[in-house]
């Protein structure tokens, strides 16, 4: 469950639109066979479907508002978004008003943000989801992720934290900053479907979650506590867990409390008729 290789994201919103060089596939007169013709035809149909899915404007919107430039990270990666779309986030709405009132620059600087994370946030603002999409399996009545077997887009290397973190956790924390409650719920559900994470990544991500969410927001924190308790046989053998616990912090006090509650629940289940006043 805890062995996973880090892979680079390969299907992000930004990689498709606006942050890379535009290239056209080369054609050749030698590609005249029926097989290659069919392959090219299918490829074009697939590209059109993909392009339509990710570039069609939101329903009921003509997207005629101003284009805002967003400068992200230490490398100053540039993104662009419509003001009316960005305004769905209280953070960006306030940032737009502040920028335009001062200098009319139509530019927002986010030096501490990750380009991969802002890409996911923008994709959510435009589409209502981010890759990989959350799909409902009607036959099983369960939720699952598209391309789940691919295993990509599970972790990112965070330049500020200087650690590999779970991508959905970082998205959740950014959604907290941007005031996007529905995106937080979406990221939480997606992370619950992830598997095969390394213990070091889980613990680093848990610490990140504690550092970037308020004490009043316990949902993401509780998910990590539940994961550790359920997989305690793996964690108790981990040298990384030992080092992290020696460093201490709120995470491990909460883990102690959660473990005590778990043990109390098990005791209650074993003795459901035991009176609390028994001497």
For the stretch 224-233, pLDDT in tens is 999 999 999 8
**pLDDT at residue 151, rounded to an integer:** 63
Q: Which residues contact 172 (CB under 8 A, 6 or more apart)?
A: 183, 184, 187, 188, 191, 209, 213, 220
Q: Could you tell me the pLDDT band of residue 64, with boundaries at 50, 70 and 90?
A: confident
What is the distance between the alpha carbons of residues 175 and 121, in angstroms, rounded to a whole number?
8
**Which DSSP string corresponds to 66-122?**
PEEEEEETTTTEEEEEEHHHHTTSHHHHHHHHHHHHHT---EEEETTS-HHHHHHHH
What is the distance between the alpha carbons of residues 262 and 59, in angstroms, rounded to a whole number?
46
**pLDDT at residue 264, rounded to an integer:** 84
Residue located via tokens 């095969």: 196
Q: Could you tell me the pLDDT band of residue 147, with boundaries at 50, 70 and 90?
A: confident
- The yes-or-no verdict on residue 19 having pLDDT over 50 is no
**pLDDT at residue 130, rounded to an integer:** 96
pLDDT (mean) for 118-128: 97
Structure tokens at 147: 């391309």
Number of residues assigned to the chain: 279
- The yes-or-no verdict on residue 123 having pLDDT over 90 is yes
Least confident of 64-68, 148-152, 208-212, 271-275: 271-275
- The yes-or-no verdict on residue 169 having pLDDT over 80 is yes
Q: Could you tell me the pLDDT band of residue 62, with boundaries at 50, 70 and 90?
A: low
Write out 184-201 in H/E/C secondary structure: HHHHHHHHHCCCCCCHHH
Which architecture does CATH list for 67-268?
2-Layer Sandwich (3.30)
For the stretch 79-116, pLDDT in tens is 999 999 999 999 999 998 876 555 567 899 999 999 99
**pLDDT at residue 164, rounded to an integer:** 95
- The yes-or-no verdict on residue 250 having pLDDT over 50 is yes
For the stretch 128-144, pLDDT in tens is 999 999 998 888 889 89
pLDDT (mean) for 14-37: 41
Structure tokens at 135: 């799909």
Least confident of 10-24, 136-150, 169-183: 10-24
161: left (phi over 0), alpha (psi -120 to 50) or beta: alpha
Where exactly are the structural domains of the chain?
67-268
**pLDDT at residue 8, rounded to an integer:** 44
Which is more confident, 191 or 40?
Answer: 191
**pLDDT at residue 272, rounded to an integer:** 56
- Residue 144: in which H helix or E strand, if any? strand 142-145
**pLDDT at residue 121, rounded to an integer:** 98
**pLDDT at residue 97, rounded to an integer:** 83
pTM value surpassing 0.85: no
């Amino acid at each position: 469950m805890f062995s996973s290789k880090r892979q680079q994201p390969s299907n992000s919103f930004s990689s498709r639109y606006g942050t890379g060089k535009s290239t056209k596939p080369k054609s050749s007169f030698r590609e005249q066979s029926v097989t290659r013709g069919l392959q090219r035809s299918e490829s074009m149909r697939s590209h059109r479907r993909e392009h339509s899915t990710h570039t069609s404007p939101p329903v009921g919107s003509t997207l005629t508002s101003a284009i805002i430039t967003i400068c992200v990270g230490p490398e100053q990666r540039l993104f662009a978004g419509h003001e009316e779309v960005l305004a769905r986030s209280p953070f960006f709405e306030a940032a737009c008003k502040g920028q335009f009132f001062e200098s009319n620059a139509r530019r927002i600087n986010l030096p501490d943000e990750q380009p991969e994370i802002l890409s996911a946030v923008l994709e959510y603002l435009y589409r209502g989801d981010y890759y990989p999409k959350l799909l409902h399996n009607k036959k099983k009545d369960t939720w699952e992720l598209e391309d789940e077997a691919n295993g990509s887009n599970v972790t990112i290397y965070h330049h500020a934290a200087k650690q590999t973190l779970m991508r959905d956790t970082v998205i959740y924390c950014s959604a907290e900053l941007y005031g996007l409650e529905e995106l937080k719920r979406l990221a939480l559900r997606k992370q619950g479907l992830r598997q095969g994470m390394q213990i070091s990544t889980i613990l680093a991500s848990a610490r990140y979650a504690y550092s970037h969410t308020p004490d009043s927001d316990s949902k993401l924190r509780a998910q990590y506590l539940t994961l550790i308790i359920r997989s305690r046989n793996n964690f108790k053998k981990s040298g990384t867990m030992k080092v992290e616990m020696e460093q201490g912090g709120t995470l491990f006090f909460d883990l102690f409390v959660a473990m005590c509650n778990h043990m109390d629940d098990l005791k209650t289940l074993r003795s459901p008729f035991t009176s609390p006043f028994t001497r």
